[in-house]
Chains A and B, each alone.
Chain A
Amino acid sequence: MSSKTHNANSILLARRTVLQLRTEASRERMKVSKASADLMNYCTEHAMADPLLVGFPTSDNPFKDKKPCTIL
């Protein structure tokens, strides 16, 4: 690649990076304390609907083996 093309590519990349950073810089940001509280509330509100967290009756276990094992 000639140094001219290389320079042209570098400039295009730099321009794209600037546009991308402008997009990212312009967004509103929520306070971490509020964001954390929201995530915590979500976990608490949905805890009872989380089988791996709160457990469930053995009879409801879809993966449990239903027949006895035989050693062949």
Chain B
Amino acid sequence: MAAEKAEMDALKKECDGLRAQIEAARKAVNDGSMSASAGGVEAVGRVQLKLRKNLKGHLAKIYAMHWSADSRQMVSASQDGKLLIWDTFTGNKLTAVPLKSAWVMSVAFAPSGNLVASGGLDNICTVYNIKAASPKTLRELDAHTGYLSCSRFLSDSEIITASGDTTCCLWDLETGKQKVVFTNHIGDCMSLALSPDENSFISGACDSLAKLWDIRSGTCKQTFSGHTSDINAIAFFPSGNAIITGSDDCSCKMYDLRADQEVIGYQDTSLNAGVTSVALSNSGRLIFAGYDDFNCHIWDSLKGEKVGVLSGHDNRVSCTGVPADGMGVCTGSWDSFLKLWN
């Protein structure tokens, strides 16, 4: 008993020492803020995007959406128990995928366009082949012990999932088995995003931390703190050197991976609603953040200023996405509609 206590005390002392060391190292390189550096950059002015399409079809709250790599098709998930695949150029629904469990929280489009994945309170990530005559279940990835909050395909044979069981997981779709389990969060994982080079991914969780993971080794490379509540949304800056998070604490933050710290925050005293989703424009200059206040607010990522708003939904904006060609923004809401803006 005494030996155990001695070890615990030594470990705790080392933890405290290492944490102080990390904070000191971060402070040592903190020689100026992003907003100071961005003083010389031209302002973007007021960003006024118009509503181009209002996509009606779902009968209940929309929880998630994801663009196809072709920047034309898009998949949305609603607790009406359906996934809908849309042709956003015409507004037509191409395919409806009925779900075994209506309690869906996440949806993803494979880069090939052949597969979509969804999951939620059933704890299962179900992968569908949507190129078949009618959508066919390809795999049911069943090993998480908590809800499925997010998933992203690396290819038609690998997918990464984030779960309320506090872990993320890399799956082999040929075998349906877990390849790597990413363990380190101490709260429900809410969101994940793949790095542009696909060697790593980031996760945001209810422990208010964002973590960067090496996909192949399974190790957590970096941890970012600062938020004071659940992180609901996370995205990579297009260069891959920074990440953006959105939180229930009503703010978004940009963390630079090489400086290993927050470089700018996006908050406004008039905004008292949690952030549900984030997406960036192609240059990384504009951040589209969906909030519980029914709006999607637009931020200048370099100056930290609010530069616009997408208003029109009658309920919480639950998901936001910009397609690969950067031609527009899609917002999905609990009001059951998806809107396309540019």
Give A contacts to B, CB under 8 Å.
7, 10-11, 14-15, 17-18, 20-25, 27, 29-33, 35-40, 42-47, 49-53, 56, 61-65
Complex CA gap A18/B22 in Å reads 13
Asked if residues A32 and B31 are in contact (CB atoms below 8 Å), the reply is: yes
Complex CA gap A50/B260 in Å reads 27
- Write the chain B residue with the least CB distance to A3: B1
Query: How many pairs of residues, A versus B, come closer than 8 Å at their CB atoms?
Result: 178
Report A-chain residues with C-beta under 8 Å of the C-beta of B322: 52
Asked if residues B242 and A14 are in contact (CB atoms below 8 Å), the reply is: no
- Write the chain A residue with the least CB distance to B328: A63
Q: Min CB distance, A38 to chain B, in Å?
A: 6
Asked if residues B263 and A36 are in contact (CB atoms below 8 Å), the reply is: yes
Give B contacts to A, CB under 8 Å.
4, 7-8, 11-12, 14-15, 18-19, 21-22, 25-26, 28-34, 37-38, 41, 44, 47, 49, 52-53, 71-72, 88-89, 184, 219-223, 237-239, 241-242, 254, 256, 258-261, 263, 281-286, 301-302, 322, 325-329, 340, 342
Asked if residues B18 and A18 are in contact (CB atoms below 8 Å), the reply is: yes
Q: Min CB distance, A14 to chain B, in Å?
A: 4
Give the contacting residue for A49; candidates B15, B44, B283, B329; CB below 8 A.
Answer: B283
Give the contacting residue for B37; candidates A25, A36, A47, A53; CB below 8 A.
Answer: A36
Q: Min CB distance, A62 to chain B, in Å?
A: 5
- Write the chain A residue with the least CB distance to B12: A14
Complex CA gap A25/B261 in Å reads 13
